[in-house]
Amino acid sequence: MNSDINENFDWQNVKVTPDGKYLRSSFPGLWKPSTERGNHSLSPFEWLQGKRKLDDVGEYWRVYNKLYNLEAFIQNHPGGSDWIEMTRGTDITEAFEASHIVNINKVEAVLAKYYVKDAVHPRNSPYTFNEDGFYKTLKRRVEPVFKKHGTAASRRILLTQDILAISFIILSIIGAWSESFGITIFAGLVLGLNTTAAHNSFHLRDSFRRYYFDLSAWSSYEWRISHALSHHLFPNTILDYEIAVFEPFLEMLPSRPKTFFQRYGSLVYAHLIYCVMMPQDCVRRAHLWYLGKTKPRPENFIILLELLTYIYFAPSVWAGVRCWLILLLVASYWVGLVGINAAHHHPDCFHDGDDARQDPDFGLCQLDATVEKADEIHKTEFAILTTFGEHPLHHLFPTVCHSKLHLVKPIFEKTLEEFLGKNRTLSQLELFIGTHKQLARTTPNRRK
């Protein structure tokens, strides 16, 4: 824990430290800065800065209880420099384990070269990675499969992503030129499909297809922080950015105070939130640039280039702007609808405030916070790619392409049966209903 908290303080029996700076999770040993609570304008960079303060490792990178200086390795990292550069000064234990599935011994040997010293305080994380635990056992069993078939995207997946991106560009220009409301809405839907598909790419090693994601108003770089490093590693906990950023409008955690309007009004206004997620992110990013808190990245101007293109082809400036806004609203609604209702927010899933499992194996905790879609339509490769499918396996192996996850499903189910039971499945309708039940829930789940 951060060194500015009194070591003699009784951490386990309070929700807020005496100075009000930190909030405690229902997972023992997990904290977050109180300034992040209910802050819907929180940026991924502010979340990362808060994690640096909590992890308190200076300019180093922490893996388990050792500190490493990876400065010289940044440009040599096979997955791309972003992952190392953005995590400077943080504990990357969860990211290290979840990202490296094959050739583990070689990866650990490379890491050992950059060892500096041992850490002096406990990790700000509840998760365990015991060699005989579920997650490490599963990793050992699936490694030969991924060694044989690889973890990168298949040609069919790459072709699908290319078709979606090109189709969006063509359809959106036709929509602007013709002022066709129907074509523009359809182009917006294709943009939504493209965005969820490109989410697969920014989890993987760097390639130009990761920037298909930036055709939306979102930033693939920022989502590597808010989604890959926050949500994926700490799902449904107080450290999950995708929980915090919607507060106080969508209150997913049962431990949070909720008004009647927040609990049940979200049945209606949640759909408005889905629509404005992309435009709101544009405004937030521009505001941070204006304040000098962040600097624009080259890919951030893709969305501006799109706007100028629509204005050029449309009969009038307003027609071009209107086309651009419709595209963002429709795409945002699609991603919000299938993303927030994808696999996490059901009352049966763990949410911070619920009783945490006493043996917090990383893999089992991931499965506590996710369920799999049971509908046959969601078992096709296209649906998996565009609706956040195969979610439990994706959370266990985020750097493996969606096209390869089915290869290890029998191993996953057999190993899970040994440790916990069967994989939970729900229909998409049950997930939609469950999300709103979760928003209304104020009673934490208690473990027997």
At 379-429, the pLDDT tens digits run 899 999 998 888 999 999 999 999 999 999 999 999 999 987 778 888 888
164-168, 299-303, 422-426: range with lowest mean pLDDT: 422-426
* Predicted confidence (pLDDT) at residue 339 exceeds the cutoff of 90: no
Domain parsing of the chain, residue ranges: 128-447
At 30-85, the pLDDT tens digits run 877 766 555 556 789 989 998 999 899 999 999 999 999 999 999 999 989 999 99
Mean pLDDT for the stretch of residues 97-103? 93
Nearest to 282 by CA among 306, 303, 310, 308: 303
What pLDDT score does 9 carry? 39
What pLDDT score does 184 carry? 97
Who's near 261: CB < 8 A, 6+ residues apart?
none
Nearest to 353 by CA among 252, 210, 230, 211: 252
What pLDDT score does 233 carry? 95
Give the Cα separation of 207 and 82 in Å (integer): 12
What pLDDT score does 19 carry? 52
Cβ–Cβ under 8 Å, residues 23 and 32? yes
Burial of 239 (0-12, 13-18, 19+ CB in 10 A): buried
What pLDDT score does 18 carry? 47
> Could you tell me how many residues make up the chain?
448
* Predicted confidence (pLDDT) at residue 197 exceeds the cutoff of 50: yes
What pLDDT score does 417 carry? 92
What pLDDT score does 40 carry? 56
Q: Using a pLDDT cut of 90, give the percent of the chain over it.
A: 65
Give the Cα separation of 17 and 4 in Å (integer): 11
What pLDDT score does 437 carry? 92
Q: Kindly report the average pLDDT of the chain as a whole number.
A: 89
What's the pLDDT band for 219 if we cut at 50, 70, 90? very high
* Predicted confidence (pLDDT) at residue 14 exceeds the cutoff of 70: no
What's the pLDDT band for 20 if we cut at 50, 70, 90? low
- Identify the residue with better confidence: 33 or 377: 377
Positive or negative, the Cα torsion across 64, 68, 70, 76?
negative
Mean pLDDT for the stretch of residues 23-28? 82
- Identify the residue with better confidence: 84 or 341: 84
What pLDDT score does 13 carry? 41
Phi and psi of 325, rounded to 5°?
-65, -40
Mean pLDDT for the stretch of residues 231-240? 93
* Predicted confidence (pLDDT) at residue 372 exceeds the cutoff of 60: yes
What pLDDT score does 23 carry? 79
142-151, 319-328, 402-411, 439-448: range with lowest mean pLDDT: 439-448
